[in-house]
Structure 1
Amino acid sequence: MSAIVNTDQAEHWSGKAGEVWVREQAMFDGLMAPVLDLLLDRAGLQAGARVVDVGCGTGAGMIAAAQVVREGGHVTGLDVSGPMLELAKERLQAAGVTNATCLLADAQVHTFGDMAADHLVSRFGVMFFADPVAAFANMRGALKPGGRMTFVCWAGMDGNPWFRIPAEAAKAVVGAPPPQDPRAPGPMAFSEADYVRDILGQAGFEGIGLTTEEITLTPIGDLEQNATFASREGPAGRIVKEMGGGREEFAAVAAKLREDFKAFETPDGALRIPGRVHVVSATAGG
């Protein structure tokens, strides 16, 4: 294991948060399948490519990328969560993937050495660094001259009811916690497009491109399952816990979400929830 400087994030994702992602792996992968498809489409990975997946989590992106680059290529996945990486390794083995490696590492300071990767990708894995400029400068060192980076990040709460509605429901039940720095490490840290461009420019990337895309999230399960899940995890769970709520408050939030999520219910009982993301690309200079 290499050095880790984002210790708060490492503790968070190796603790209860990581346990939730391991337990609910199918839920998260189903929810974000369209995002992974979008990422891989925009990245345009080629057979034989060497790829780095930052914030690889439980391995969905690694498996998909490894299948694209085939045996002549290789995928290296980095994450600070031990529990999530253990599941990723199990899934890679179960899928018969032999051209991928998992590393417990902090991409802000990991020594990439002579990796000279063709492409660095990330699905929601790069918004959690304490020093994003330093992190992206270090990640640029993983790429060969002219190598490309493509990542997807959330484009703010307003365009993402999967986050916004549970947060509003929780605040209605337990009150609002003190406001946070909108650029603090977390899912919505890269909401501002100009802020992202500035970070990448300071980190030495060239040819920076950013498009904002409308997507549809595809959570598995029915209305009841998703209302319960969203009441206990993500922004609602954080707010209820931060405000000292317990079982009654979680139940009250879930009840509100059962009503609010009806707007996204399909005739067959599934949920299809609109979302908004930034797709970001850049090149490592020669």
Structure 2
Amino acid sequence: MKFARLGDPGSEIPVVIVDGRHYDLRPVTSDVNGDFLAADPVGRTQAALASGRLPELAGAEDLRIGAPIVRPSAVICVGQNYAAHARESGAEPPAVPILFLKTPNTVVGPDDAVTIPRGSEKTDWEVELGVVIGARTAYLDSPDEAAAHIAGYVVCNDVSERAFQMEVSAGQWSKGKAAFGFNPTGPWLVTPDEVDVQNLRLRSFVNGEPRQDSSTSDMIFSVAEIVHHISQYMTLEPGDLILTGTPQGVAFGGRFPYLRPGDVVEIDIEGLGSQRQEFTAWEARA
């Protein structure tokens, strides 16, 4: 099942997509939020569809695509989770997951323009599999318990400013990860029954030229291992978002230039959809 949110920022309409048709979810939920995701979203939606309670949303194809989940309470990220990316970054693959945070207001629509931060010279792209939490998660006893806590999967672009992240960070990566809009998310939240999560192709392009092309099968730590590990250190709430790392092929590796105003980044993950962002210059507001 595919959930999405359509409309202007702050006024998105929750929908379910079936055979290319968009059905309004408002008879079931006010939004694709934690309460909805924690209360059998698939079963409730299937029942509403079967009973004819969900009208088709007129003009859906003309509406902006928002992030498929309401702004989460937390965005937790895993660094260097693909061995080749770790090595292109000048590091050996980690023995345990590296965790850092993005702020919730980084989460924006998949095709929204992204502003390059003031003073940035090293803005970078990172295609990543995102995991959306569907049940309160703390102290899981094993990775096998993780599946019951996952609502679905999304495409994410973990946009990064590498100078902020590495050169003025004092070791805290979040300085280079938390600019507003630095986490385009979507277009859909796809439920786990439709996804072979450890066998998904993920790619990125800049101005139409290929950059990343890999598979989630190359992750060092699987999705289940990541959710289990994070649960030992923090409590995840329904609707929270985990970014699971990016493969090789980013500007930080030295083979490609960093992003400049006017550049267009496109990313996609097999079965989860695609994104397109134009990167724009920061401008002072009057």
More strand by share: 2
TM-score interval, smaller chain? under 0.3
More helix by share: 1
Ranked by relative contact order (alpha carbons within 8 Å, sequence separation 6 or more), the top structure is 2
